[in-house]
Structure 1
């Protein structure tokens, strides 16, 4: 079973990859890895983090398919 820490690590790695290799899509992300939450105790759970991770993966796949990147 994947832990929250593992999911967060994967999200960080993917956002870093986007920032480095796909700056044209990174600038459209609504959140940046260094963003400080506006709430004192923002509610995040494992499902929300997994969904966000999957959306990042799908974003990269879609970009590669539409721009013929191998």
Structure 2
């Protein structure tokens, strides 16, 4: 299992890829559960980061095939 720091770094890289390569997907990032927590002080742990990372991967995997110039390395 990846560490919290590794997951955070991977999330940042994937978010930057989305921002730079697929800006039209940014609206979906704002709608994800982790970006709009339902508690005042949400707990961030490895499980939550892993789930968020996987949701970003899923978003790209579903969207990238419609863009042949994108090399899927996530």
- Structure 1: 4+ residue segments shifted above 4 A: 66-70
Give me the TM-score of the superposition, normalised by structure 2: 0.71
Residue in 2 that maps onto 1:57: 57
- Return the offset for 1:69: 5.2
In structure 1, the gaps of 5 or more residues are none
Higher relative contact order (CA 8 A, sep 6+): 1
> Whose helix proportion is higher, 1 or 2?
2
Distance in structure 1 (CA, Å) of the matches to 2:47 and 2:58: 16
- Return the offset for 1:68: 5.0
